[in-house]
Every structure is written in structure tokens, then in C-alpha cells.
Structure 1
């Protein structure tokens, strides 16, 4: 079966609920331990349905071995923002779009290539939330005297900080982040070298970098959380944390959102309000969040 026939088969005649299909041909492939790489064709079928799980099918098209992957659009967007599922993202970015009646996949691909808004703000918030998570984890380890564990948490937080600096320069972070920032002459690479190569004690290195994190990235908090702040400003009624956790623009940081919110409150960037709910007893006021 040639590719044009395959394009028709997977693009139009089957899976009528699919919003688009991409076919990625692997030239001269050989098995290297990655399941995706043991097939001649990877067929990525994107569905609108948000609760549709990742479904895998193995098929033959003539003499070609095919792996058919059904993904939902929300998951695909999350992988693009988070930099996860690199093999699947490669298929999405480099494969042939064979079915895209409303050009939504083509638009998403172009937005990613050009690193347009709102993708940059989503990516910035994602990286900041992960930076903050690792930063707080490192502080806890330091308080308990576990400097080796704190070192690894700080190293991870620096990687997210490096990605933030790349995003500020409208550069899409890639896997080899430290190679990307090496030539930018930014403070982050110097801190990375200080943490990993300095002759000072482990505790001294960790605490020095933690201070730098506190004074540098924390000062960029408003810039890093523009997406969240704009959502909080989007209506006059304050938001509950439950509403925010389930907001479609914030789903990629839902488990870290409470920490981000409380940090923004402590920095006076977000205002909290106690609200009485009907039938609530004393001490059971709900907290709502808003931003000016």
C-alpha cells in the first residue's frame, strides 16, 4: 500500500470522529529499544474528545509495519508545553499532515515552530511552577540537613530557570538546555558551573544558588505568571482553587497550582478573600482568589 492510499485510509475513510491525522515515515529504521522506532510508519490520529485515552494499534499495510496512535488534542498540547513524549512530538512536527479539514493541526504546528503567544505564556508558567516546586523542595531538604538531596533539587530548579531565560528571549527550550544557554552569557550558566564545579563545600554551593534563586527568579514572578494573573482578572468574581485547577488553560500545572497561588498571595500579586458559603459553619469559610 503506497502512502497516498494510506493517507486516504487513515485520513478520511476511518475514524470519522478524528480532527486530523499525521503520518510519519521512518527511513532506514532499526530497533533500538524504543517502541516507536520499530515501525515503518507512525500514524498519529488526533481526536477532539478530551477524555479519550492514548490508544495504540499495531497493523500491517502491505509490507509496512504501522503503529497507530490515538491521542486527544489536550494531551498533545500538554506534551508540547511540557516538552514530554519527545518521540510523539517528533512525529507531530515532522510527519505529513494527511487529514486536517480545519487546518487546526497545521496551525498548532506553526505556533510551536514560531513559538508564538499564547504558547510562550503557557510554557513560561509551566516552567516557573516546576522551578518553584523544586526550589521549595530544596529548602525543605536544607532545613533537615539533607544537602545531597537539596543539591539534586537545586540542579533541577536551575534547569527550569534556564528554560525561563530562554523563553524570555523567545527561544523554545530543547532537551539540551545547557547547550542552548551556554552561548547566551547569562547568569544562569555561571550559577550552574558554580553549583557543579566549585571547590566550595556542597552546603555552601547549594545555599549560594538558593540565594540567587530567591533574588533573581522571584523578582520575575509577575512576568512568569502572566497567564494565571490574566485568568484571575478575566472576571469580577474571585476564583476558587477548584475552578482554577480545572481551568483548561491551567491543566498542565494543576498539581502545582496551589503552591503557585499561595506564593503569589505571599508576594501580594494575588489577593485572597474569605467567602461564606450557604450552610457553612464557623471556621469553614472558603478562600477565593483575584488579581488587579
Structure 2
């Protein structure tokens, strides 16, 4: 990394509580326009703020190099790893070159994310399983309607979630190039992806084959993938309303998919339901509540 980038150290530390910076240069002769916006270098300035909610970006030039500088809070990176968001930015942080680091904070944060601890893995696995269920159901619906092109697309997304779960099981943070990460592992998801893409069977037959494998995955892995949710359900004697579950901090990253996941767990007898009387403007109703 060019020494000229050390020149913004003091400025960033004072103005944004920065603890360090990581630079990621795009490989090859072309730029990744979707991420770097035609800049050959992305500089991530890591800040000590809990999380940065507003987008802070600067476009700069140093000598002959034009670069984009983006400010990120430490908690942003942790949240993105758990939620599977901003995978390109996470990749840049994990694989970029540390330009400067105050007290080794950036190195410790990178080790924490690379280590992918149990709590982080469980939450990310639930997120990917929820995405798996959603796209799997979509694919089945499209296939039943003989809409095989849309079914193919949904199946492909389902396999990506499957692949990320396999990476998580290996203690690997899933990145944007999930198939490159899986290639050397020769996993079930990669074999299904290869079958879906290159088999001589008809498109309908390929989709049916993958959907059968996905159905087996749902039956065999649901309890494991939903362990953090099941533990929350067992954390008190009283049954939970769906709104109470959605409000839990550890469920924030799956709140949109949580109703679907809960109903699937009930269907598979991993979660039980009961009812309680409630009063509202429609009169007496019985609210469904959940326990495990």
C-alpha cells in the first residue's frame, strides 16, 4: 500500500473516532463498478462508534491513484456478517491490507470476524435457513405452475443459501463468491449446483431433483439451523406471541422471515402452539402463542 495513504491517519482519528483503515485493491485490469464505482482502490475507515447509520463516503485522489473511502462502525461489520449483508464490503475488510491500526483494534476485530464464533455462526445460520425456506417455497410454487424459468432462478437462490450454511458449518464466513469458496470442499450444495447447471436432463427434471434434495435438507437440518430460535422459545415458561419473538434483539436479522420459520417449525412438530383469549375491537379472539 502506498505510503501516501498514511497521511490521513491523524485527520480520520480526530474527526470520526477512527481506530484504523483497511485498503482493498481490485485485482486485474478492470474495476468492479458495482462496489468500487470505477475506483481501483477502496479504503475502509473503521470507526469506534457502535454503528454508523448514515452513509459516509469520500472520493479522493493521491498522486495518480483515485480511491473511494468509506467509514464503517465496528458494529456495522459484525451486524453484516450475522445478517449476510454487504458481503463485498465484508470481503474487502477481511482480505484487504491494513493501512494503519490504533492499538491493534482492527487486527482484533478481523480475528473476531474470521474466527466466526458460535453465537455469530448460529445467528447467521438461522438467517440463511430462513432465506433457504423462502426461496425453496417459491421454487416449488413456480414448478407446480410449470413456470420453470422462475423456478430455476428460485432454486439457484435456494442452493446459494444451502451453500452458505455448509460454509458456516465449516467455520467459514460466506462471501459473495460462495461457489469459489465451496469448490475445493466438494459439498452436497456444490454437487447440486453442478447438476442443475450441466446435467443433460430436462430443466423440469433438474429442478425436481434439486427440490427433492432440498426437502431432505429441510427435514434433517431444521432443528440445527434454528437452534438460536428454539433456545429463545425455551428461555421462559410462558408461551410467546409472534410479536414478542420478532421484538427479541437476537431475532432482529430475521424478523421478516420469522413468521414463516415458526409455522414451518410447528408443522415439523419442533415447536408447539397454544392459544389464549385476548380482547380487541372485534370482540374476543384467541391468539396463537408458541413454545418449545
Structure-1-length-normalised TM-score: 0.80
The change in CA–CA distance for 1:43 and 1:200 in structure 2 (over 3 A counts) is closer
Partner of 1:46: 47
Structure 2, gaps ≥5 residues long: none
Question: 1:169-198 deviations in whole A, cap 9, x for unaligned?
Answer: 333333333343334343333322332222
Q: How does 1:32-111 map to 2 (within 5 A)?
A: 32=31, 33=33, 34-35=35-36, 38=39, 42-46=43-47, 48=49, 52-58=53-59, 67-93=68-94, 94=96, 95-96=98-99, 98-99=101-102, 103=105, 106-111=107-112
The change in CA–CA distance for 1:107 and 1:239 in structure 2 (over 3 A counts) is farther
173-182 vs 254-263, which moves further:
173-182
Matched, 1:6 2:4: no
Partner of 2:20: 22
Matched, 1:188 2:189: yes
Question: 1:116-144 deviations in whole A, cap 9, x for unaligned?
Answer: 21121122112111111110101111222
The change in CA–CA distance for 1:142 and 1:57 in structure 2 (over 3 A counts) is same
CA distance in 1, matches of 2:26, 2:182: 33
Structure-2-length-normalised TM-score: 0.80
Q: How does 1:105-124 map to 2 (within 5 A)?
A: 106-124=107-125
Partner of 1:274: 275
Structure 1, gaps ≥5 residues long: none
**Alignment check: 8 A CA contact 2:42 2:70 kept:** no
The change in CA–CA distance for 1:21 and 1:276 in structure 2 (over 3 A counts) is farther
Partner of 1:202: 203
